[in-house]
């Protein structure tokens, strides 16, 4: 007669007296009695195990304590090799085990639908795997491979709370004798039910504890960053604090640059401190920035927005990724933070909440640091301006007491800073200098800027300095008076001359001119190189752009071109609308003046390409220019009336340079130079002879050349072959060999179909081939100029 444990328990529970149990014993043989006693002992042992579970979980609210206690009792009671207990994490949708007996270390997490444990959890039904567990498709062999363990059979039951909700699973592995059976299942269910309340309480307690710890950690990390006011160290602290807060591997912090509409970073975990920049709408960070929404990616390599290039370059492997916008006051997104690879599973909703709260605090700190950096930069900038200014600057408080002076002020006034700062202006400027104090009084009374020009300031007793004085009231952001500023410009003759000449020539030329004295300005004949440049179709451009944009375009164009002139010791003679006239050698002659003029012409064309590139970015159409250069004798000096003098050059060579600039339109060229310029050049630069021309006002023909040094392969493809064919064609053209000349020009056009001079000569050859010129033809072409 076989008696199961549950049957035996029912008999005992139903028995009303000792006599009923004795009657049962009389019905059993000796073997049956032994079995009964063994079963009763097993029942007592299991009841003791259940009671032991209750005792072991009643005195602790720590999962770290409960997990190993429960597993020890479960393994021992079910006579199994080891056991595991997994609880459900609703925030991440995972099952996790804090402690696993055997070789497993730390916390194990996996999706709540994965494997046998996941199946029991989702279905809420116990399962017994009696056969080899490896034959079950749901069994995850990864843990065995990692630990070197071999799982044979499994018993897994759900853990339910008082509401009958499944909160986890208990799993027992490898029963020592035989396979797990239904009695083992009922026992494990009883043990799990007994432990459920304690586990849920401990889990709730741990959640509260974790939240308190997170709040304390957040407060701690926020406190650590708000004390840092320097932007660079602050960003590094923010990133370190964020990775610590989310228990993650590394991260990156990107700020927005509104000028370029890019995201940039100086701090990124695991990468050298070099600036990273990319468009503000690119990649995962760009989408987070533009949308202002959090992006949580479980597997970065499965997301098409993820760029694995950095991983490949660093050897790193990005798994999970949490990207959070950094939002400042007024809902303005100022950057994004990317946190990579949470150390324990994927990023969950709690991580998003923590990072969102942290980013809110970080945004305030970043804005404060940016403001401090802007103020510091502005202050350093202003200090540098004050130190570098040639004009004296004196700042006063609202009472008229000097608070700061720059170096120029101490030099002009010939007093040390200690003698000036802290004294009232009225005490410093007295008697013949009292007009300075009166200017301040006027500004105080009227609240408006006062300008006093060309007035003598007496310093060091009798020395006189001519100055222009500007007195300005200073007001706060709320329009409250806070002080005054005085600016004194030394306008002695040399100062005035330097100020004037600096607008027309480089500093080096100006310094040499001032060292030479007045003689060079009186009017002399000398050889110079004259350069004219002009914008093509500027009237049409100006009509299309309007007044303000036309002026802005001209200023940008003139700035680039004049810098090139000054860089090659040229003198800006004048502007004529959109035209520039520059002279090389008018002030001080040099042997390389023709070379400098041609170099400027070539670099103007190269600079124009850069300017057109900037215009294209702004959606503007490109501009084209022509350059003409002529070398020869001119008259240079101060020309004009006593009230208005202008240092300039006059002569036939000025007219020729002007005509050559205009001739570019006819020949389809960019830079034309005369034969005198070509002959006086000392440096080798690509040129080709273009034509013999006769311009209006001159009887003698002029040989003209095209400077080609500015061309690239894109602007003049196969230049060497085209120029060689063109030169041969020009030689045969002048020998009246029209057919062979035409073949040469055709060859040049084959090399560069856009070569306008070759096209012109090919047309001429066709005309002269059918209607040859007169026998006294000299090869000269008369240019019809509008000037």
Mean per-residue pLDDT for 582-605?
91
Q: Give residue 87's Cα distance to chain centre.
A: 45
Give the model's pLDDT for residue 708.
Answer: 94
- Distance linking the first and last C-alpha atoms of the chain: 132
Beta-bridge partner residues of 451? 470
**CA–CA dist 497, 146 (Å, integer):** 85
Give the model's pLDDT for residue 43.
Answer: 46
Give the model's pLDDT for residue 597.
Answer: 95
Structure token pair of residue 376: 């510091």
pLDDT digits (tens, 9 = 90+) for 504-523: 555 655 665 666 555 555 66
pLDDT digits (tens, 9 = 90+) for 605-655: 999 999 999 999 998 889 999 999 999 999 887 777 776 767 788 988 999
Orientation of helix 63-77 relative to helix 30-57, angle to 10°: 180
Mean per-residue pLDDT for 529-558?
91
Orientation of helix 538-545 relative to helix 547-567, angle to 10°: 130
Q: Report whether pLDDT(321) > 80.
A: yes
Mean per-residue pLDDT for 170-194?
84
Beta-bridge partner residues of 251? 339
pLDDT digits (tens, 9 = 90+) for 15-55: 444 555 555 555 655 555 455 554 454 544 555 555 554 45
The per-residue pLDDT of the chain, averaged, comes to: 81
- Of 312, 258, 254, which is closest to residue 283 (Cα–Cα)? 254
**Is 84:107 a contact under the CB 8 Å cutoff?**
no
Give the model's pLDDT for residue 718.
Answer: 94
Mean per-residue pLDDT for 333-346?
84
pLDDT digits (tens, 9 = 90+) for 99-157: 544 444 467 778 888 888 888 889 989 888 887 888 888 887 777 787 778 888 888 88
Question: Which whole-number Å values give the CA distances from 144 to 74, 102, 150, 151, 568, in the listed order?
Answer: 20, 11, 6, 7, 78
What size, in residues, is the chain? Answer: 787
Q: What are phi and psi of 29, to 5 degrees?
A: -80, -175
Structure token pair of residue 546: 């309007």
pLDDT digits (tens, 9 = 90+) for 252-269: 888 888 889 988 886 665
Concatenate the DSSP letters of all residues of 557-572 into one string.
HHHHHHHHHHHTT-EE
Give the model's pLDDT for residue 41.
Answer: 47
pLDDT digits (tens, 9 = 90+) for 279-318: 888 888 888 989 889 999 888 888 888 878 777 877 788 8
| Cβ neighbours, 10 Å, residue 298 | 14
Mean per-residue pLDDT for 670-678?
95
Give the best-scoring range by mean pLDDT among 4-8, 102-106, 218-222, 658-662: 658-662
At residue 263, the 3 state secondary structure works out as: strand
Which residues, in sequence order, are CB contacts of 259 under 8 Å at separation 6+? none
Give the model's pLDDT for residue 5.
Answer: 45
Q: Give residue 303's Cα distance to chain centre.
A: 23
**CA–CA dist 65, 56 (Å, integer):** 9
Give the model's pLDDT for residue 528.
Answer: 94
Mean per-residue pLDDT for 704-719?
93
**Is 238:250 a contact under the CB 8 Å cutoff?**
no
Of residues 644 and 572, the one with the higher pLDDT is 572
**CA–CA dist 272, 310 (Å, integer):** 12
Residue carrying structure tokens 């301040």: 440
Q: Report whether pLDDT(592) > 60.
A: yes
Least confidently predicted of 165-169, 190-194, 425-429, 662-666: 190-194
Least confidently predicted of 337-341, 493-497, 524-528, 571-575: 493-497
Give the model's pLDDT for residue 516.
Answer: 59
Structure token pair of residue 717: 């493809």
Q: Report whether pLDDT(210) > 70.
A: no
Q: Report whether pLDDT(70) > 70.
A: yes
Quickly state the pLDDT bin for 728 (edges 50, 70, 90).
very high
Q: What are phi and psi of 58, to 5 degrees?
A: -80, -20
**Is 339:321 a contact under the CB 8 Å cutoff?**
yes
**CA–CA dist 268, 287 (Å, integer):** 19
**Is 450:442 a contact under the CB 8 Å cutoff?**
yes
Give the model's pLDDT for residue 215.
Answer: 65
Kindly state the percentage of the chain with pLDDT values over 90.
25
- Of 357, 684, 638, which is closest to residue 522 (Cα–Cα)? 638
Give the model's pLDDT for residue 2.
Answer: 47
CB burial class (10 A; 0-12, 13-18, 19+) of residue 355?
Answer: buried
Of residues 76 and 161, the one with the higher pLDDT is 161
Give the model's pLDDT for residue 730.
Answer: 93
Q: Give residue 406's Cα distance to chain centre.
A: 36
**Is 50:191 a contact under the CB 8 Å cutoff?**
yes
Give the model's pLDDT for residue 502.
Answer: 60
- State the alpha helices, DSSP H only, in 618-718: 652-667, 675-680
Mean per-residue pLDDT for 559-576?
90
Quickly state the pLDDT bin for 737 (edges 50, 70, 90).
very high
Residue carrying structure tokens 């009763």: 40
Q: Which 8-state DSSP code applies to residue 674?
A: E
Least confidently predicted of 207-211, 401-405, 476-480, 717-721: 207-211
Of residues 388 and 532, the one with the higher pLDDT is 532
């Amino acid at each position: 007669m076989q008696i199961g444990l549950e049957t035996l328990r029912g008999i005992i529970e139903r028995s009303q007296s000792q006599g009923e149990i004795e009657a049962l014993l009389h019905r059993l043989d000796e073997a049956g009695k032994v079995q009964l006693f063994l079963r009763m002992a097993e029942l007592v042992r299991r009841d003791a195990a259940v009671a032991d579970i209750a005792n072991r979980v009643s005195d602790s609210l720590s999962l770290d304590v409960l997990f190993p206690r429960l597993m020890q009792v479960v393994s021992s009671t079910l006579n199994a090799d080891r056991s595991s207990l997994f609880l459900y994490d609703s925030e991440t949708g995972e099952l996790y085990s804090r402690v696993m007996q055997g070789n497993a270390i730390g916390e194990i997490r996996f999706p709540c639908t994965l494997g046998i444990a996941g199946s029991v959890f989702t279905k809420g039904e116990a399962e017994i795997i009696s056969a080899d567990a490896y034959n079950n498709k749901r069994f995850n062999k990864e843990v065995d491979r990692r630990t070197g363990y071999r799982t044979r059979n499994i018993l897994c039951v759900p853990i339910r709370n008082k509401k009958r909700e499944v909160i986890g699973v208990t799993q027992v592995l490898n029963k020592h004798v035989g396979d797990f059976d239904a009695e083992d299942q009922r026992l494990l269910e009883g043990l799990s039910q007994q432990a459920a309340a304690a586990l849920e309480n401990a889990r709730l307690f741990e959640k509260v504890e974790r939240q308190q710890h997170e709040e304390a950690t957040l407060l701690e990390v926020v406190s650590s960053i708000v004390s840092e006011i320097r932007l660079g160290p602050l960003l590094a602290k923010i990133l370190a604090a964020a990775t610590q807060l989310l228990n993650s591997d590394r991260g990156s912090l990107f700020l927005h640059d509104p000028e370029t509409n890019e995201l940039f970073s100086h701090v990124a975990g695991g990468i050298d401190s070099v600036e990273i920049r990319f468009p503000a709408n690119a990649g995962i960070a760009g989408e987070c920035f533009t949308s202002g929404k959090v992006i949580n990616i479980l597997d970065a390599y499965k997301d098409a927005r993820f760029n694995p290039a950095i991983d490949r370059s660093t050897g790193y492997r990005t798994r999970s990724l949490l990207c959070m916008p950094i939002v400042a006051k007024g809902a303005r997104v100022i950057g994004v933070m990317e946190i990579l690879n949470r150390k324990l599973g994927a990023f969950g909703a709690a991580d998003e909440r923590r990072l969102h709260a942290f980013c809110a605090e970080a945004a305030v700190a970043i804005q404060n640091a940016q403001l401090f950096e802007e103020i510091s930069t502005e202050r350093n900038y202003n200090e540098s301006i004050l130190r570098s200014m040639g004009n004296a600057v004196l700042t006063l408080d609202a009472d008229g007491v000097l608070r700061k002076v720059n170096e120029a002020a101490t030099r002009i006034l010939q007093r040390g800073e200690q003698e000036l700062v802290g004294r009232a202006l009225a005490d410093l400027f007295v008697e013949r200098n009292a007009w300075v104090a009166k200017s301040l009084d006027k500004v105080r009374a009227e609240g408006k800027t006062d300008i006093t020009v060309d007035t003598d300031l007496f310093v060091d007793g009798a020395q006189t300095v001519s100055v222009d004085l500007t007195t300005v009231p200073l007001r706060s952001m709320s329009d409250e008076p806070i002080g005054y500023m005085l600016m004194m410009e030394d306008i002695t003759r040399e100062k005035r001359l330097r100020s004037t000449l600096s607008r027309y020539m480089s500093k080096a030329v100006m310094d040499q001119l001032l060292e030479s004295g007045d003689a060079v300005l009186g009017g002399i004949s000398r050889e110079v190189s004259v350069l004219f440049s002009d914008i093509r179709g500027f009237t049409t451009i100006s009509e299309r752009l309007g007044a303000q944009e036309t002026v802005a375009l001209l200023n940008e164009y003139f700035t680039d071109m004049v810098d090139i002139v000054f860089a090659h010791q040229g003198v800006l003679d004048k502007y004529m609308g959109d035209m520039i006239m520059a002279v090389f050698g008018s002030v001080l002659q040099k042997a390389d003046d023709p070379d400098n003029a041609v170099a400027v012409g070539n670099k103007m064309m190269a600079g124009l390409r850069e300017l057109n590139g900037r215009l294209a970015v702004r959606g503007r159409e490109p501009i084209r220019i022509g350059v003409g250069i002529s070398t020869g004798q001119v008259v240079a000096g101060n020309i004009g009336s006593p009230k208005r003098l202008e240092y300039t050059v006059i002569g036939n060579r000025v007219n020729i340079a002007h005509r050559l600039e205009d001739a570019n339109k006819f020949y389809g060229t960019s830079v034309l130079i005369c034969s005198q310029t070509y002959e006086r050049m000392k440096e080798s630069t690509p040129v080709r002879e273009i034509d013999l021309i006769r311009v209006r006002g001159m009887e003698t023909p002029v040989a003209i050349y095209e400077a080609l040094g500015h061309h690239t392969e894109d602007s003049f493809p196969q230049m060497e072959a085209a120029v060689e064919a063109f030169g041969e064609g020009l030689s045969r053209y002048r020998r009246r060999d029209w057919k062979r000349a035409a073949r040469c020009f055709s060859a040049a056009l084959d090399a560069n179909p856009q070569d306008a001079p070759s096209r012109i000569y090919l047309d001429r050859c066709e005309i002269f081939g059918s209607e040859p010129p007169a026998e006294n033809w000299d090869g000269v072409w008369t240019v019809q100029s509008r000037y």
